[in-house]
A and B are shown apart, each in its own frame.
Chain A
Amino acid sequence: MLTLTSVSKNFGGLSVLQDVNLAIPDQGIFGLIGPNGAGKTTVFNLITGLLTPSDGAIEFFGERLDGLPPHQITRRGVARTFQNIRLFKEMTTLDNVLVAMRDPSRYGNFVALLPWTGYRSTEQRERETARGLLSRVGLADKSNLPAGTLSYGEQRRVEIARALATRPKLLLLDEPAAGMNVAEKRELMSEIVKLAESGLNIMIIEHDMRFIMELCRDIVVLNFGQIIARGSSEEIRGNPRVIEAYLGSDNRSDSRPKS
């Protein structure tokens, strides 16, 4: 489904990713972990087109993604959430989701200017769909509140609803569980499982090891811009290189250091 071939990214003299090779099959929840600064968000940025690779290629269902502008990559079916939540804080929750909906209707955007074009009904339908997405994440009752007034955990959920509004085939979640309590994480996990069951591919960056281990069958570990391990949660847990990478550099991991 998604392939990264020999992808590297340099910023001036700083090499953030070196020769990353990754092939992710269709159907599943995929985990991307590594200590801070390993380059995980950079991988997301490269996939979504915010950055272009210094070297290598990225393919999505056979189509080249690298070099395309971000909005076209999203239209091809790749959606994401952000490490620091980037909601439109002064717009309502509903509007946040609505912005992302691109109804592939017959009408162009500017037909909205002409009366009697049935734009009202299209708008109605979109609002219904948006409300539906919000109720999936349990926030339909907060539709008309400014997004900035919601709690941190709620804002994360709105971000997910917004990403879903773009009708993606691949959803990239950048630290979705950050700032959530245990109950919220449980809910999020079951929501993610449901999404995956409906056919959506999901790729998650997370620091919460338990979260990743429970959700993902296939995990890749990144350190200093290179892949150091890939496998199931059991394989990763016992991998000495992985443990070494985390020891002393990331306090948030739950993995136990070997004595």
Chain B
Amino acid sequence: MEWLDNFWATYSTLVLSVGTNVLLALSIYLTLACGLLTVANAAFMGIGAYAATLLTLNTGVPFPCAILGGALLPALVALAIGRPTLRLSGVYLAMATLAFGEVVRVVILNAETLTGGALGLNGIPQLTAWYDVALAVGVTLYVLLRLAHSRVGRTMTAISQDELATELMGLNVGAYKLFSFALGAALAGLAGGLNAHFTFFISPNEYGFERGVEILAMGVLGGSGSPWGALIGAVLITLLPELLRGLGHYRPLLNGIILIVIILYSPKGIWDILQSAPRRARPTVAS
């Protein structure tokens, strides 16, 4: 077992990061499955991270409560801005969520007394254990898989293909979109809270554009077809820079290239490649 201890000593952060990235990828998968392109999940992750951290640092609540608080707050924010924002479609939604992300960053930056401003928050207790992350990932995966194979999943697929027709089938499209947006926010916040408690230190820049692109890359790589795709996307994007020695520094560049390549050659993500490899079909255009 000494081998395991050594492994853990070197790679714990990486393994835990894979776990939280899976949560992030699942959070964007959920919105993509409904046909929504939102880039707000990095901001929700930040809100969750700060909320959970402030709870641990300033109040005596037990760790699970802090983490749940970190998941709850982003969900509430999502519910608050959801109704008007989700009325926007396509590119407008993407831009609105981009702007929202920046608003969050500026707010965190300026609320110095609370959040430490640009200097961030230091000395966060290292409370996240592997089983916390495993539990979170396991439960989330289970829930989302069941959702995907249920009427809810079917409705979300329908919404992503034709919102109007779905609405006319008697389904409250707005409610479904809001649900996926808020649940996605909660997942991102959960990931943020867990992540904050195995990295000593958080700052507003952690949850800005680069993080948003990473999440987007995971989602696009994984594709919106299945939660498993999100899992694969997350694992690949987290591990790839590590496997290619010394490229960890160029992680954003790698994510960017992955985004470009996937969009150009396999818009439905890697799941599509795996499924269609035997058929050698041309990549189909995502709806």
A-side residues, CB < 8 A to B, are 48, 50, 69-71, 74-75, 79-80, 82, 86-91, 95, 98-100, 102, 109-110, 112-113, 119, 123, 126, 162, 165-166
Contacts and interface: CB of A to CB of B under 8 A. Distances in A.
7 contacts: A70-B164, A71-B167, A91-B154, A100-B169, A112-B146, A112-B151, A113-B146
B161 A91 contact: yes
Contact of A99 (B147, B154, B164, B172): B154
B257 interface: no
A86 B154 contact: no
Interface majority SS (helix, strand, loop, mixed), chain A:
helix
Nearest to B166: A99
Contacts, number: 76
B169 A166 contact: yes
Contacts of B165: 82, 86-88
A90 B171 CA distance: 19
Interface residues of B, number: 24
A71 B164 contact: no
A162 B103 CA distance: 43
B161 A71 contact: no
Contacts of B171: 71, 99, 102
Contacts of B150: 109, 112-113, 119, 123
Main secondary structure of the interface of B (DSSP, over half): helix
A95 B154 contact: yes
Contacts of B170: 71, 74-75, 100, 102, 166
A217 B250 CA distance: 73
A165 B173 CA distance: 18
A98 B161 contact: no
Nearest to A86: B165
A119 B150 CA distance: 9
B154 A74 contact: no
Contact of A109 (B143, B151, B167): B151
